[in-house]
Amino acid sequence: MKSITKILTFCLILVFFSACQSKENSIKKDELIYASTKDIRDINPHLYSGEMAAQNMVFESLVINTNDGIKPNLAKSWKITNDGKTYIFKLREDVKFSDGLVFDANIVKKNFDAILENKARHAWLELVNQIKSTKVIDKFTFELNLKNAYYPTLTELAMTRPFRFISTNCFKNDKTKDGVKCYVGTGAWILKEHKKNDYALFVKNENYWKNKAKIEKIKWRVIPNHQSILLSLQKGEIDLIFGSDGDMINLDAFTMLEKSNKVKTELSNPIASRAILINTKREITKDLEVRKALEHAINKQAIIKGILNNKETVANTLFSKTTPYCNIDLPVKTFDISMSKKILDNDGWLLNKSTNIREKDGKQLVLKLYYNANNAQEKTISEYIQSNLKDIGIKLQIIGEEKQTFLDRQKSGDFDLQYSLSWGVPYDPQSFISSWRIPAHGDYQAQLGLERKAWLDKTIEDILIQTDDLKRAKLYKDIFSYIHKEDVYIPISYSRTKVVFNPKLKDVGFNLSQYEIPFEKMYFEKSK
């Protein structure tokens, strides 16, 4: 009797477990499951609360940024008048929105006007401030008039937001600034379903005008916990993780996965700049000699080897030489403790042997470095810098803060040192330096102590509207040389985008921007 009961119980457990088998376990190879810690949220292309990768899947721009420069997209060609103030775009005539609406110059104008209606919200992008008027010349010809000849016009038109096109059927009262009724674009993907904080399902746009996507569906799964993402990836429930700077996957986990044969990994070329921002307005760091000493005190190579697993390259300048206008020869500030000590000694910061901290006029050399506590990589790098500075008699207090508090501190300028990451191409350098003029940015606050801050801001303004490429390059050289000489940034490394994926997934690559994912190129290898 007892054995019968045992067998029955065992069978019951078996039935229960088999009933519990997840549907998700059987991955359909026409569906790519991508995991992100974030929901796609509101992907209105004219606003900023949605995930850029998702916006890029549905909405397109007139032109696109590529490694070979700006290329045609929804506009098949364009002409720029001699004064550089008028852009005339010839639009493709074979493009339709996924709701059937024909893409034409009227739609382009309505989209531009909707964006311009919300100028204050796009103030970070100088192009918005430079647009004077928009005009429909004929059904497929659109004219954009600028106040000044603004050189990054095409680059900024190609960015993921805000200059992308949404069907006017989705507009609310002819506007998009207060939200949209639907998310209909001309892109390779159509957003079919969205369950907030759970998943978003994108299906292939069968009527896409360009090369159609090779996969039928993309399921954007939201998994907030990094460890859960890694386990799901190894289990095969998800096919792809894609991200930069430890927001999706940290380098330790990346290296561990690289060694496993269950998944494949790829790293992009260096894309953005990782640096420490020094506040030139603070009591101690306003002293150029202290900033100089800091430049020589940090062992970047050790950070890259020990913390970043040799996956990044040492940065000697704020931007890498491959960034436009940044191929400038600037003096390299090598890791040299004796040099740092000498600079501090000469500056009057003498080591108190009992405390092991340098002092000047009775004041200790104590600095505070703030970082985003949610990013494990930033914490480890900060700890390493702390030990580097201890070696030259500087006490560095490292403070990890929740992201919003970290941003609040940027605005207030209440920091000696702060962790900084640039936005990567195509935003670097023009959009990034443009933000140096905005008080809400840490860069602006950190530069306030510079003798030539007013000149710096004015030069940035001039760069953005300079028509002569040689003169522009000269102005870039001037500002980067000045910033380098004044030691406002301690460049650490050039970061890369990391991707981990199912080995059956092919053609996994990178777009120019670290915020975009080229899903349309990916496909699954056929099962043998």
Which stretches of the chain bind other proteins, using CB under 8 A? 17, 19-25, 41-42, 47-49, 120-124, 178-179, 195-199, 221-225, 227-228, 231-232, 234-235, 237, 374, 402-405, 407-408, 411, 438, 440
- The single-letter DSSP state of residue 23 is G
For other proteins, which is the closer residue by CB, 174 or 178? 178
Closest approach of Cβ 398 to other proteins, in Å? 20
Q: Which is nearer to other proteins, 50 or 152 (CB)?
A: 50
Q: Shortest distance, CB of residue 18 to other proteins, whole angstroms?
A: 9
Rounded-to-integer distance, Cα 300 and Cα 455, Å: 31
CB nearer to other proteins: pick between 476 and 501: 501
Compute the least distance from the CB of residue 524 to other proteins, in Å: 21
Q: Among residues 149, 165, 169, 167, which one has the least CA distance to residue 157?
A: 165
Task: Please name every residue paired with 241 in a beta bridge, in sequence order, or none if there are none.
Answer: 500
The single residue listed with the structure tokens 């760091």 is 285
Min separation Cβ 434 and other proteins, Å: 11
State in angstroms the smallest separation of the CB of 55 from other proteins. 12
Q: How far apart are CA 170 and CA 143, in angstroms?
A: 23
The beta-strand segments (E) located in 50-114 are: 63-66, 69-72, 75-80, 86-91
CB 205, min distance to other proteins, A: 25
Angle at 237 between CA 18 and CA 40, to 5 degrees: 130
Q: Which is closer to other proteins, CB of 48 or CB of 523?
A: 48
**Closest alpha carbon to 393 in 344, 357, 361, 354:** 357
Task: Give the nearest distance from C-beta 34 to other proteins in angstroms.
Answer: 13
Pick 38 or 506: Cβ nearer other proteins:
38
Per the CB < 8 A criterion, the answer to whether 35 and 241 are in contact is yes
Which residue's CB is nearer to other proteins, number 54 or number 343?
54
Least distance (Å) between residue 129 CB and other proteins: 11
List Cβ neighbours of 446 (8 Å cut-off, separation of 6 or more): 277, 278, 279, 280, 281, 413, 418, 488
Residue 101, CA distances (Å) to 104, 133, 157 in order: 9, 24, 22
Give the shortest CB-42-to-other proteins separation in angstroms: 6
Beta bridge partners of 35: 221
Residue with smaller CB distance to other proteins, 19 or 470:
19
**Residue 237 and residue 33 in contact, taking contact as beta carbons nearer than 8 Å:** yes
- Taking the least distance from each CB to other proteins, the nearer of 7 and 438 is 438
Which CB sits closer to other proteins, 56 or 285?
A: 56
DSSP SS3 for 175: strand
CA distance 149 to 127: 10
* Residue 505 amino acid letter: L
**Alpha-carbon torsion 227, 230, 234, 235, what sign?**
positive
